[in-house]
Structure 1
Amino acid sequence: MVNIGETANFSCEYLQNHINNPKIIFKEEKDSIETIYSKWKKKERFSISDDKHKKIFSVRITAVTPDDGGVYLCGVWISGDSYSYSIINTIHLHVMMPPVVRHEGESAEIICSYDSIYKSKPKSLCKGKCSTRDRNPLSETVREEKETKTDRLTLKDDVTASVFTGSITALTAEDAGKYWCAVTLETELNYLYTHLIVIMNEELNLTKYEGDDVSIQCRHHDEDQKRFCKAHEASMCVKDGVSLETIRDDRFSFSDEASTGVFTVNITDLREEDSGIYWCGAHVTTKVLLNVKTGTIT
């Protein structure tokens, strides 16, 4: 997963008997397979480095665009200059927009870029995927009038800049989630997404001492979104935050009370290094300031 404008890296392993074979990268398109990088063709922004000692070649894509998302095929040429190759690995590259982080009650803008060839096509902003089934009430479409407006949602299509923008006012917990930007062709095409993170206005400040235990209750709006993340900013939790899912420490655990929309994070035997800023929940998140002091209560 990589944000637009960032650099994407992925690696492909190969066998010892392919160590001296030229390496190649393909990308699956709708009706064809495109050669992205080979000794005969080198697409701009793509590069390959080959570590023969580890038998891995690495692919680097700079200034990632929405069109770079998709399925890549790592391969090696089998013999000479003949068009014969072997596919050794498949990589799925997911491109997303940086997360949009706003506080409860504020307004948020979700900015969707698209290829200029789609400027006359209807555009959609959908919460969840843009399908005809289970469409969320906030899902709206910009058509020929170039602007659609409901009570809290406005969609505008700037065909000159090839950008359409969704503006949501008076944010609530229900607005948080994953949003897809889509262009309607023969069928609706999901081509880009972002996360809208709504920070609840109420913060939680906790002061404890080393050796204490603490239980922290977290709200979750989506059944599959339960996260307790340590990071300076909430946006970091989408990609780079240290979350409960990745913490390999037996002192951290959580219990889920699904019917109440709450899960509880339990930390035992607190240490000074546990101090910091935590984000409780995922799309709907609460800021938790945990201060662990040394010594004991007197």
Structure 2
Amino acid sequence: MRSFLLFLSLFTGCEASPELKGCDGGWVNFTWKYTETNIINIDVFQNKLSIIKSTQKDTWENKERLSVYHDATNKSIRLGIKQLKRSDAGEYRWETKPNQNSEVKLKVVADEGGCKKPFNQTAYRTAKTSITCDEGKKEDSRFNFFCKENGSICEDILSTKSALRSNGTFTLTETESGFTVSISNVSPQHAGVYWCGVESTEGSYRAALRKIQLEVKAAIKNFTRSPTIGQNMTYWCQYPEGAPVKKFICKGEDPSKCEHVVSTAQNTERFSMIDEKEKRNITITVRGVTKEDSGTYWCGAESKTETQSNSFFNRFLMTVVQPPTPTFPVSSTTTAFAESRGFSKNKRDAAAAQHDREDYIYEEIQERPLKPDSGNAINKIYSTANFPTNPSASLHYSTINFRNGSGEAAEVLMTNPSSSACEYSAVKDREIPTCSNVNQPSPADPLYSTVNKTQQQ
């Protein structure tokens, strides 16, 4: 079936008839006005042959592909013809009793005046989709409209006749070649047959430009990733059996008009695709991601025909983030020591924060292994401690962990309340008592702590 475009040409002279052009496969409505009252028994002729009659008011009367409506309130007669054929061309005339008549000529064409083939479009639940309506050359004598089939009529959704361009779900946007209508947050109720069309400014005719069969599929599979700036990232896209050969990735909220980024036929410097056909899986790699790479990406395949939209397999949401800022964990030793000194919560938090900073300026102390013949020899542990840059801080300490010969853990906590004196806490060892002497050399020399361990008698 082909959609159609209707044009109206008025000829000079009282007997001249309007000439209409319609496209093969479409529908057309044109309207006659009358001035008499009490009009009844309307008879419509094609080439002098009666094709449909109306004996009722304010209701549609149908006969095969024809429909007639007598609008008694507005004194008009509307004739509709569906699924136009070449044989529908000719002269149409209506007659009434009392005697009054009017006529129009119809020409049915296939590929003239912006006639478009019907289009099958696939949309995905919760996503966005856009329908393109290209009418060709614009004319000031007509408006654009967008409607949806509902039984024998096509219900208007939006029209350029009105200043309203959006109703919340549908949005009409005029372009150089026609107009587009986008549908946000697609749902199953949006599936159906739509028409793009034109209407004469005086309302004497309405005609469709294009037929769109909209199919709505279940919500597409989503992937979400948050790579760090500069990282390389890889993700995978599986596709069903029988999918078109040419696969691609595009970027944008609306898959029906998203911007192509890369395809299996041609990779770029930063984006690449590998199609593992036996597994029906595509591997997509993005090198050195940037903040500008954030957005919505679609993995799909190019349609084999111009009457079918591209198909998509999944949606990838990428948010590129800054590298994380290092954080310093608070140790349980810090909290326990502060509590043992009777510090308030605020002072404990301050001590913990100071300890966190110092954790990154001291060197790890490792215990020298005992020699087999060492007996009860004294083992010394040397630790180089760098003084903090803020000597007025109320608390500085280091934590020394080591193990004795039996594998038990021992711990030394040393505090430095000032730059001239050091305090220390007792070294706790479950089995072997331990003594700790802390000596502070001159400020020019490194600070050494000596830990003596004696065997319990």
Higher fraction of strand = 1
Between structure 1 and structure 2, the one with the greater Rg is: 2
Higher relative contact order (CA 8 A, sep 6+): 1
TM-score range, shorter chain: 0.3 to 0.5
